[in-house]
Amino acid sequence: MDHARRWRRPELPEYVTPLALTETAYAKINLALHVRRRREDGYHELETLFAFVDCGDVLTAQPAEQDRAETIGEFAANLDNPFDNLVWRALTALPRPQGLHISLEKNLPVAAGLGGGSADAGAVFRIVEAIHGLPDDWEERAARLGADVPACVRSEMAIGRGTGTELEPVENDMAGMAVLLVNPRQPVPTGPVFKAWASVGDGADRGPLPDGPASQITREGRNDLQAPAVTICPAIADVLESLNDTDPWHVAMSGSGATCFALYESAAQRDKAAGILSELEPQWWQMVGSLR
């Protein structure tokens, strides 16, 4: 069965106008991230296991005569030009007979390895889908916005290949697992991390993702960007060490950093760990949730 078709929702009425619609931009984490061969276009082939946490930024949309976007929340000031962020670009990428006024509550740190902007764009796609439906080429439109955006539209666990846009289903035997996200409040741009991977990490291809269900890939996989990210942001190592001291099921860095995640077998364990870290490192950002 064609993968894109399998993921499409049932046809919706051509024109529906809700008074307001709220959508969560689910935080993206990479349970494993393998960097493979360098492509002719200068990018690298990636193999990653995308997972999504049941919390993140929050978007509220209302009908409007023309598109409008505003940002509030803890990390609103860290966004660039509001007319050049991914929320605005997602709005302009989708044909609609009506404008939308979107308010973005920015709860996720920027340049943090959580796909924050991509998650926001994915939420815009779901909002437009609920009101007007998506065009048949929505995956191509999403990919033009960023490599993580197609995965973030559905926000379902999946394997990503290529630059991350080629999605494959995976057995999700981790749904509901408790998650603690921790960031040392230090932004880490992706570009320098890849450069460090090529130099400090020698840029070697260390092999593909393991086969099996999500839990096996997580346990046996790796994040090839973790070590080079630590050379740029040493605080990542402190976060990883602190999380490993909380008796987790698994700990790793997400994406290119600096956010790290710990998985726990119960919400009680997660909440206890969050409390301990809040006392030890009150300046670190935290978010608790569960895997979708």
**198 belongs to an annotated ligand binding site:** no
Closest among 290, 38, 9 to 163, alpha carbons compared: 38
Specify the CATH architecture of the domain 178-290. Answer: 2-Layer Sandwich (3.30)
What Rg value do the Cα atoms of the chain yield, rounded?
A: 19
**203 belongs to an annotated ligand binding site:** no
pLDDT at site 84: 64
Q: Do residues 236 and 184 touch, judged by C-beta distance below 8 A?
A: yes
pLDDT at site 73: 95
Q: Do residues 96 and 63 touch, judged by C-beta distance below 8 A?
A: no
Which residues does the annotation mark as catalytic?
Answer: 28, 148
**160 belongs to an annotated ligand binding site:** no
> Per-10-residue mean pLDDT for the chain, 292 residues long?
41 53 98 88 87 98 94 88 80 95 96 95 98 96 97 98 96 98 95 88 85 98 97 97 98 97 98 98 98 98
Residue type, 36: R
pLDDT at site 8: 44
pTM, two decimal places = 0.91
pLDDT at site 81: 64
Q: Do residues 289 and 27 touch, judged by C-beta distance below 8 A?
A: yes
Residue type, 119: A
In the chain, what are the domain boundaries?
Answer: 3-168, 178-290
pLDDT at site 10: 42
Report in angstroms the alpha-carbon separations of 226 from 123, 200, 208: 28, 11, 16
**87 belongs to an annotated ligand binding site:** no
Name all contacts of 175-178 with Cβ < 8 Å and 24+ positions apart.
175/291, 175/292, 176/290, 176/291, 177/249, 177/263, 177/264, 177/265, 177/290, 177/291, 178/263, 178/264, 178/265, 178/266, 178/267, 178/269, 178/270, 178/288, 178/289, 178/290
Beta partners for 26? 56
Topology of the domain covering 3-168:
Ribosomal Protein S5; domain 2 (3.30.230)
**Segment (H or E) for 290:** strand 285-290
* Burial environment of residue 267 by CB neighbours within 10 A (0 to 12, 13 to 18, 19 or more): middle
